[in-house]
Amino acid sequence: MQSDPQLRERGAKKIGEILGQTPEDVERSLGDLAPKLATYVLEVIYGQVYQSQTLDSRTRQIVTVASLATMGTAAPQLRTHIGGALRCGVSEEELVEIMLQLVPYAGVATAINGIAACRDAFAAQKRPR
């Protein structure tokens, strides 16, 4: 995948704003095995998709958290995006309520796992850096 410096710069700014991550963080977590995926995350997801003005960052994080929780296979990403939701102004109470809202549609186990991810993400936010 050919890298686009403008998309990378926009993606770097957006991932910093939402998740508090840098391009180096993304490359450190993915780049050794999947550098194309690291480029995709930065340039397509955060450099293009997250640039749309139709949804604000807060709403986008609510949708992302609900989607990841429903998948049931993305616990690390769910914890990361719960942290992102908090950075975008979603309250802890709202995040817990999102998990409760999943019960009739995705099941009790999904909500329980989502609550566990909330607990971890909330604690991580409160730890000194």
Which residue range(s) make up the domain with 125?
55-129
Identify whether residues 72 and 18 lie together within a single domain: no
Element (H, E) at 46: none
Identify whether residues 46 and 61 lie together within a single domain: no
Domain count, the chain: 2
Reduced to 3 states (helix: H, G, I; strand: E, B; else coil), residue 3 is coil
Identify whether residues 59 and 102 lie together within a single domain: yes
Residues 6+ apart with CB under 8 A from 103: 110, 111
Identify whether residues 101 and 115 lie together within a single domain: yes
Average pLDDT over every residue of 83-92: 97
- Kindly report the CATH number assigned to the domain that includes residue 104: 1.20.1290.10
Of the listed ranges 21-25, 30-34, 125-129, the one predicted with least confidence: 125-129
Identify whether residues 41 and 99 lie together within a single domain: no
What is the reported pLDDT for 1?
66
Q: Quick: pLDDT tens for 58-68.
A: 999 999 999 99
Residues 6+ apart with CB under 8 A from 10: 46, 47, 48, 51
The whole-model pTM stands at 0.92
What is the reported pLDDT for 31?
86
